[in-house]
Amino acid sequence: MAKPITQTLHLPQDRVVEWTKQAAIIVGASLFVALCARVTIPLPTPVPLTLQNCGVLIVGLLLGSRRGFAALALYLAEGAAGLPVFNPTGPGGIAQLLGPTGGFLMAYPFVAGLAGYLMERGRKTFANAAVSGLLAEVLLFASGLGWLAIWTGSMKRAVQFGLYWFVFAEVIKVLVAAAVAVRLRRAPKVQA
């Protein structure tokens, strides 16, 4: 039986509405990470303590692998274009991407993608979200410390500057991100 003409006319409009909704979610997620970057504590290292990592994990855990990756790729593009989305203690723009924090920043899309991927494949529990966040943080620090080792010329200095100062805070960020993601996933959905 053929579909009524009214149904076929609304399909492209429905796709546009859905695409617009998804684009807005991705843009909003990139702006959320930019807001998290504003919460910065300078340390006596080239790498400041920020809430960016927590924001990246929340985005990945909530949006999933594809949208999380897209949101953080957009975030990097915004920063590379000179928009003030990176932490305010750095030079901003391309210089920040090539500076000591570049390895952390460039890993963000992959970190969000990995956290989202693991969360998509498991149960939507706090434990799964925390493990997903922890594994994503391992990827983040592997990339960040690798870049920092190149930048400083020493893996020992990279670990001193980019890991020791952050371990306690990162554990808290992973737990907060897991709690927020699980709580928001369980929240009742508003129907439009």
- The predicted-structure confidence for 5-30, as pLDDT tens digits, reads as follows 445 445 677 888 889 999 999 999 99
Q: 124-165, pLDDT tens digit by residue?
A: 899 999 999 999 999 999 999 999 999 999 999 999 988 988
Distance in angstroms (rounded) separating the CA atoms of residues 102 and 28: 23
Q: What is the pLDDT of residues 178-189, one digit of tens each?
A: 999 999 887 666
Q: What structural domains and CATH numbers belong to the chain? A: 19-185 (1.10.1760.20)
Looking at per-residue pLDDT, the higher value among 184 and 32 belongs to 32
